[in-house]
Amino acid sequence: MKIGRLLGLALLLPLALALGAPVNAQPVGTLVVGLVAEPVNLDPAQVTDFNSNRVGRRIVEPLITFAEESTKIEPNLAESWTISPDGLQYTFKLRKGVKFHDGTPFNAAAVKFSIERQINAEHPANKIGKYPFANYFFGNVKSIEVMDENTVRFILKEPRASFLVVMAAAAASMVSPTAMMKAGVDFASAPVGTGPFRYAAWTRGQHVTLEKFPDYWKGAPKIDRVIYRPIVEDQARLTELLTGTLDLIVGVPADFVAQLEGHAKVNLLKQVGAHVWYLGINNSKKPFDDKRVRQALNYAVNKEAIVRDVLKGTGAVSRGPVLPGTWGAEPNLPAYPYDPARAKKLLAEAGFPNGFSTSMWVPESGSGMQSPVAMAIVMQSNLRAVGVNVTLQTMEWGAYIAKLRTKEQELFALSWAAGSEDPDMVMYPLFHSSQWTPNGPNRAMYKNEKFDALLTEARHVTDQAKRAALYREAQKILVEDAPWVFVDHEIQIAATSKRVQGFKLHPSFDLRTETVSLR
């Protein structure tokens, strides 16, 4: 049996070798983060997904930023700003002495470059990138003027009170013009900005490594390096955290939350994100053009049960599109409680005492979609209980998004991550009638002239208290009209090893590793 013995040895040798391999102790100063997916690239103006932004936003940063744990705006690379009385000119005073990672100075010309590369097709850097949200964010920018080295002025086509929030978006981050023109197309893989960390390495499929920028204008981060590892499988991410090879994971699945709560090795963090998950209703299609039918659907769906049993506490029931507790949210928004009897009564009043049949489109997965199919199944059975027979159609995300442009949808599951608490960032695109698909994302085909007028006015006044009053009134109209079934706001869940100190989740879904120190 010589061959057999030899083979046995050949099989066992690697095992013995491997088992002897010591588990490497984590080096001091290195934070290892488990991401749900690999970043596409690291230039936030050129990506649309959370995971890319979570890494890229460490390298580049915008003029304005959000405060800790909220989306209130704060000065960042801009020290201050003034707005002309007509709301058309925004003049930013830039912070002096800030340098990009390549040593070139950050100045007004760099601001002009960073935004113009996205919107001006003739700009030399336009061809070497692709800018998905150029029009959505900056379509309203008429011109950008360099006033002096440290002053830059944006001139808008129309007033838009949320413009400062736009300037805090990831896509409004500042890049080094010298570095981008030198690197060309490859800039997106290794961008150069002014942020707390600079690009160090990227081994595809394995990890992206950033290292601290010692000359960061706010002071260098306390950790030396952050390693981001893409690990798609939930169990693998969790195992790595529990065995100490990962320090921080986000997107902890609902089923694992109970297991991690009070675990000796990890800290669990939760926070409601600026996000809303909804069941869209095509308001322009019969029978949904009748408000009573839409209200009936809202009464019929048991949102508490979805949040409790499907999402297991990773969602908070929503009453409207705006994040509760923020300046623009109407605090006394009436809710649609779970009330099947009332739903049936409303359907009967609308002429459907025996209900009707319809279809519901649901993506299998998708950014911010939580557990779409499981949630849809609950809604389907809720609706059947009041006589509405729903056929579920599940689709792959890419096919789903394309299908939604046909306007054939009846009921459809979608979510929206505004990234900010400003109501303009969620109410305008999703409900203003100028945003009907395919022009914009108003796929519910909702239109109410009074509502439209309130939203337009709220864009034109810059005083926040006045804007808040307008938005609050608009939300009351919206809830009464019930263009969607309002379902939930996602509660983000992160878990960290005990050695991670000072980490806080952010409602914009950003992952601010620069605040971390390691014990």
Identity of the residue, 247 or 330, whose beta carbon is nearer to other proteins in the bound complex: 247
Identity of the residue, 425 or 474, whose beta carbon is nearer to other proteins in the bound complex: 425
Q: How far is the CB of 476 from other proteins (least distance, A)?
A: 25
From 33, 48, 41, 132, select the one nearest 367 (Cα to Cα). Answer: 48
| Residue list 437-456, contact with other proteins (CB under 8 A) | 438-441
Identity of the residue, 94 or 257, whose beta carbon is nearer to other proteins in the bound complex: 257
Q: Which of 146, 155, 242, 316 touches other proteins by CB under 8 A?
A: 242
Quick check: 264 binds other proteins (CB under 8 A)? Answer: no
| Residue list 153-172, contact with other proteins (CB under 8 A) | none
Stretch that binds other proteins, among 4-12, 83-91, 254-262, 305-313 (CB under 8 A): 4-12
Helix (H, G, I), strand (E, B) or coil at 234: helix
Stretch that binds other proteins, among 198-206, 444-452, 460-468, 496-504 (CB under 8 A): 198-206
Identity of the residue, 136 or 356, whose beta carbon is nearer to other proteins in the bound complex: 136
Q: Which of 9, 12, 27, 304 touches other proteins by CB under 8 A?
A: 27
Identity of the residue, 49 or 149, whose beta carbon is nearer to other proteins in the bound complex: 49
Quick check: 14 binds other proteins (CB under 8 A)? Answer: yes
Identity of the residue, 94 or 254, whose beta carbon is nearer to other proteins in the bound complex: 254
Q: How far is the CB of 69 from other proteins (least distance, A)?
A: 24
In sequence order, what are the beta bridge partners of 31? 226
Distance CA 453, CA 448 (A): 9
Q: Which of 64, 77, 231, 307 touches other proteins by CB under 8 A?
A: 231
Quick check: 11 binds other proteins (CB under 8 A)? Answer: yes
Quick check: 247 binds other proteins (CB under 8 A)? Answer: no
Backbone angles phi, psi at 256, to 5 degrees: -95, -10
Instruction: Return the residue matching tokens 């709220």.
Output: 458
Q: How far is the CB of 266 from other proteins (least distance, A)?
A: 13
Stretch that binds other proteins, among 36-44, 169-177, 346-354, 478-486 (CB under 8 A): 36-44
Task: Respond yes or no on whether the N-terminal peptide bond of residue 429 is cis (omega within 30° of 0).
Answer: no
| Residue list 39-98, contact with other proteins (CB under 8 A) | 40-41, 46, 48
Instruction: For residue 501, give the H/E element and its range.
Output: strand 500-501
| Residue list 313-352, contact with other proteins (CB under 8 A) | none
Distance CA 92, CA 111 (A): 10
Stretch that binds other proteins, among 133-141, 289-297, 313-321, 354-362 (CB under 8 A): 133-141
Are the C-beta atoms of 363 and 277 separated by less than 8 Å? no
3-state secondary structure 156-203: ECCCCCCHHHHCCCHHHCCCCHHHHHHHHHHHHHCCCCCCCEEEEEEE
DSSP one-letter string for 321-386: SSPTTSTTS-TTPPP----HHHHHHHHHHTT-TT-EEEEEEEES--TT--SHHHHHHHHHHHHHHT
Instruction: Count residues binding other proteins (CB under 8 A).
Output: 78
Angle at 120 between CA 117 and CA 123, to 5 degrees: 60
Distance CA 325, CA 144 (A): 35
Q: How far is the CB of 235 from other proteins (least distance, A)?
A: 5
Quick check: 5 binds other proteins (CB under 8 A)? Answer: no
Distance CA 121, CA 492 (A): 38
Q: Locate all alpha helices (DSSP H) within 20-93, ordered by sequence.
A: 50-59
Identity of the residue, 203 or 332, whose beta carbon is nearer to other proteins in the bound complex: 203
Distance CA 440, CA 430 (A): 8
Distance CA 301, CA 378 (A): 8
Quick check: 1 binds other proteins (CB under 8 A)? Answer: yes
Identity of the residue, 9 or 453, whose beta carbon is nearer to other proteins in the bound complex: 9
Quick check: 258 binds other proteins (CB under 8 A)? Answer: no
Instruction: For residue 63, give the H/E element and its range.
Output: none
Identity of the residue, 26 or 394, whose beta carbon is nearer to other proteins in the bound complex: 26
Quick check: 435 binds other proteins (CB under 8 A)? Answer: yes
Q: Do you know the residue count of the chain?
A: 519
* Contact pattern from residue 375 through residue 404 relative to other proteins, giving x for each residue in contact according to CB under 8 A and a dash for the rest: ---------------------xxxxxxxx-
Quick check: 235 binds other proteins (CB under 8 A)? Answer: yes
